[in-house]
Structure formats: C-alpha cells, structure tokens
Copies of this chain bind each other. A is one copy, B any other.
Amino acid sequence: MAGSTFGTIFKITTWGESHGKGVGVVVDGCPAGLSLDEADIQKFLDRRKPGQSKYATPRKEDDAVEILSGVFEGKTTGTPISLVVFNRNQQSKDYSEIASYYRPGHADYTFDMKYGFRDYRGGGRSSGRETIGRVAAGAIAVKLLNQLGITFTTYTKSIGPITISTENFDAAEIARNPLYMPDVCAAENAQNYLDACMAERNSSGGVIECIVSGMPAGIGDTVFEKLDANLAKAIMSIGAVKGFEIGDGFDAAKATGRSNNDAFCLAKDGSVTKTTNHAGGILGGMSDGSDIILRASVKPTPSIAATQQTVNKSGEETEVSIKGRHDPVIVPRAVVVVEAMAAITITDALFANMSARMDSIEKFYR
C-alpha cells in the first residue's frame, strides 16, 4: 500500500527509517517564485531536535537539511523540492535486542503481521524520525501561508494532569521553556510532574493545541473534503496521536444548541464575524474566517524502562524493560509536527479552492 504521500495539489511524499541512510521528503506542487533556502527549513527542524533538554532523548543529532532540487537562485521553480537529512548518529547496538520481541505500545507486532518481517533498528519506519520529512515540508507551507497573512500559534496545552490556564496564557513563553507551554506556572508544574515520572521509569502523555489566524472564509469543502476532516487525518497520521478535536471538540457533545451556537455579528469594519468561537473556525467543513482551533491527544511514550509483560517472536510470554535513549514525553517535540501537518493541509485546501467559482476562473484566464 502506497501510504507515504499526503495532499492533492500541494503534495508531500516522505521516505526513510530511523537507522537507514537518512530521511527525506519530496514536496510537489509548491508554486514557483517562493523565496526558500535551507535556513527556512532548518529552523523548523530545530524545534523537533532531540537532546535539547532532559525531557527529550539525549541523542545528539545534527538533523541538517539539504535541498537537492526545486530551488534555483533562491526561489522555488515549481518543480519538486527534494529535501534530505542524512542520519549521522546511528547506535544500532542500542536496538538490536528488540528484534526478538514485541514492545508493548509499539508497531513491532503489527509490522510483522502486515509485512512478515521488519527493519527492527530503532523502530524503522514507525520511528519518530519519520516526522522529519513532515516538518521540513511544513516549514515550506508555513512560509507560504505567512505570505498570505495566515499565521500559526502551536504549543503544549497539557502534560499528564497539568494544563495551562487561560489567565496565564502568554504566547511569548512558548519558546522560553523546554515544554513549549504558553504558561510559565504550568510549565514549571509539568516539569516537576515529568521528573516524578522519570524517577519511576515511567512516561507521560499530553495535549497539543494549534491556532491558525488570518484564514479567509470559505476554504474547504462541504462533504468528504471538509477542512476539519482533512486536518483530522493529517493530525491523526502523526504517531502516538489518539484523539483530535476542532473547537469545543468533545465538550460540544455535552453542550446545548443555545450554548454551542456562535452568534454572527458585525465587526467594526462592517464585516461578518462571530461573538464566540465554539466551532473552532469551521462551519460545514469550510473556514468561517475566525481562528481555526484544533487539538491533538498524544499518548505517553511507550518506551519505558519499567518492566513490562510481552510475547517474543518464538511465541513465548516474556518480560522486557526497554533500554536506550527515549523521551519521557513526546509532546514538546511533536508540537512542530502538528503545526507542519496543519499548514500542509491548509495550503492544499487553499489551492483547491481557487477554482470554486466561475467568476474567479474567468478573471484568472481572460
């Protein structure tokens, strides 16, 4: 099954495993004339780089991106942009034992069931390194969207039981703490919580929130290609994500029509806007011009040092304790992955929308 391509017009194809020669992505359908260099992409990759705090694996990886095609004299040419990050820090020995048994919470067993065997080094294609291609492509999408006035604010909303508070929300704080939380108190509490998890050879889950501002209204489709449906697929395709919400999400199920409906009103400039945003910026699958608000639930890192029960490849029950360098929480490093996938999805939707009306098409071509 060909499952490594995402998007229809703005289309990305990722490749690579954790312990192979490298990982990469081909970005096809990027318009010609966008200024782009390796630094634009590197700054996004650096947001997911390991080894930056004690809450992330201490592996030191350069993750230096190289543009192999599609850019000429500092601008995209309209042809596919091939991006690669060669693997440099491969300690295969750390992983050799795991070939023999199925790690709980990992894709080892399902991989064997699907393909008959697997590249067992470091999780292979199911490793978090697979997201490098997504983030590299997402950097291009975000740059493109910024030029259209669309911006992203993405952060850790909660770690285990610790959630940011609305009162303390400070976007400037996101880049200041290793957990990417926009609330200095919550970030401190979450660090204490993670210290306790680590002491117990345990790990934690959390929630990532992404806010997209500056969206034009009317983007997305009314049936299967609803903007929120495509965002859901994009976000749920990130490893370890177990839930997706738009706007009030699961709280909407408990609400009533009176409390959940957003009233339309007029902004000072006379344009149509809403008094509230329970809908999270999407009505009937199309953007309504308000901020798009989405959330992802990320499960705890399955690789824990504590002893666990499992089955080995000889079909015997056994006990395991996962060694090696693992993140006690995936959430902070996944923040940029969520932003990348949201940006890729929105770029594709904007391009698809350009032929929605006959009058726009006539204006474009005549």
Q: When the two chains form their complex, are residues B358 and A109 in contact, meaning their CB atoms are under 8 A apart?
A: no
Tell me which of A49-57, A99-107, A167-175, A181-189 binds B: A99-107
Q: For residue A20, give the distance in angstroms from its CB to the closest CB of chain B.
A: 5
5 contacts between A and B (CB under 8 A): A21-B69, A110-B286, A115-B218, A260-B302, A265-B309
Q: How far is the CA of A293 from the CA of B115 in the complex (A)?
A: 24
Which residue among A16, A67, A222, A284 has the maximum number of chain B CB atoms within 10 Å of its CB? A222
Q: Please encode chain A, from 225 to 244, with 1 for each CB lying within 8 Å of some chain B CB and 0 for all others.
A: 11011111111110100111
Q: How far is the CA of A332 from the CA of B168 in the complex (A)?
A: 40
Q: When the two chains form their complex, are residues B237 and A224 in contact, meaning their CB atoms are under 8 A apart?
A: yes
Q: For residue A119, give the distance in angstroms from its CB to the closest CB of chain B.
A: 4
Chain B residue with minimal CB distance to A145? B365
Q: When the two chains form their complex, are residues B233 and A298 in contact, meaning their CB atoms are under 8 A apart?
A: no
Chain B residues near A234 (CB-CB < 8 A): 229
Q: When the two chains form their complex, are residues B161 and A266 in contact, meaning their CB atoms are under 8 A apart?
A: no
Q: When the two chains form their complex, are residues A264 and B21 in contact, meaning their CB atoms are under 8 A apart?
A: no
A5 at the interface (CB under 8 A from B): yes
Q: A34-B358, A364-B354 are in contact. Are A102 and B245 (CB under 8 A)?
A: no
A17 at the interface (CB under 8 A from B): yes
A178 at the interface (CB under 8 A from B): no
Chain B residues near A297 (CB-CB < 8 A): 245, 249-253
With A31-B356, A232-B236, A243-B252 known, 7 other A-B pairs at CB within 8 A are A5-B11, A16-B80, A17-B72, A29-B355, A114-B220, A160-B255, A207-B253
Q: When the two chains form their complex, are residues A9 and B284 in contact, meaning their CB atoms are under 8 A apart?
A: no
Chain B residues near A223 (CB-CB < 8 A): 3-4, 14, 125, 130, 237
Q: When the two chains form their complex, are residues B68 and A20 in contact, meaning their CB atoms are under 8 A apart?
A: yes
Name A306-352 residues within 8 Å CB distance of B.
306, 308-311, 315-317, 350-352
Q: When the two chains form their complex, are residues B358 and A144 in contact, meaning their CB atoms are under 8 A apart?
A: yes
Q: A32 touches which one: B2, B115, B226, B237 (CB < 8 A)?
A: B115
A366 at the interface (CB under 8 A from B): yes
Q: When the two chains form their complex, are residues A8 and B17 in contact, meaning their CB atoms are under 8 A apart?
A: no
Chain B residues near A33 (CB-CB < 8 A): 115-117, 357-359
Q: A22 touches which one: B22, B68, B225 (CB < 8 A)?
A: B68
Q: A218-B113, A261-B105, A302-B261 are in contact. Are A4 and B283 (CB under 8 A)?
A: no
Chain B residue with minimal CB distance to A208? B253
Q: How far is the CA of A78 from the CA of B247 in the complex (A)?
A: 26
Q: When the two chains form their complex, are residues B16 and A257 in contact, meaning their CB atoms are under 8 A apart?
A: no
Q: A105 touches which one: B149, B262, B300 (CB < 8 A)?
A: B262
Chain B residues near A32 (CB-CB < 8 A): 114-117, 356-358
A164 at the interface (CB under 8 A from B): no
A154 at the interface (CB under 8 A from B): no
Q: How far is the CA of A161 from the CA of B252 in the complex (A)?
A: 11
Q: For residue A234, give the distance in angstroms from its CB to the closest CB of chain B.
A: 8
A28 at the interface (CB under 8 A from B): yes
Q: For residue A101, give the distance in angstroms from its CB to the closest CB of chain B.
A: 8
A41 at the interface (CB under 8 A from B): no
Chain B residues near A283 (CB-CB < 8 A): 105-107, 109-110
